[in-house]
Amino acid sequence: MFNEGYWCFKITLVILLFVVFHFVSNSFFEDYAEFAKYGGGVYMILQSIIIIDLSYIWSINWRKKFLENTKNK
């Protein structure tokens, strides 16, 4: 319901955020950029580990199914 409704509230919130972020100091964004640089690297490493792990699990399961199907024939 919130996704399809409350447009007045959502537009007001976006405009308010736009105005508020004009008063945020540049040091905040510099610190955030430093955090995002290292955080993004850590995220990419974790994502690569998860994808490699998923592919190993997937291949093991496919091999099990293949061996079960060849035994039954």
Residue-range domain boundaries for the chain: 26-72
**How far apart, in Å, are the Cα atoms of 63 and each of 19, 52, 56?**
57, 17, 11
The pTM of this model reads 0.57
pLDDT at 3: 75
- For the cut 90, the answer to whether the pLDDT of residue 70 exceeds it is no
Q: What was the pLDDT predicted at 73? A: 67
Tokens of 23: 């008063």
What is the per-residue pLDDT across 15-56, written as a single tens digit (0 to 9) for each? 999 999 999 999 998 999 999 999 999 999 999 999 999 999
- What is the per-residue burial (b if ≥16 Cβ within 10 Å, else e) of 5-26? eeeeeeeeeeeeeeeeeeeeee
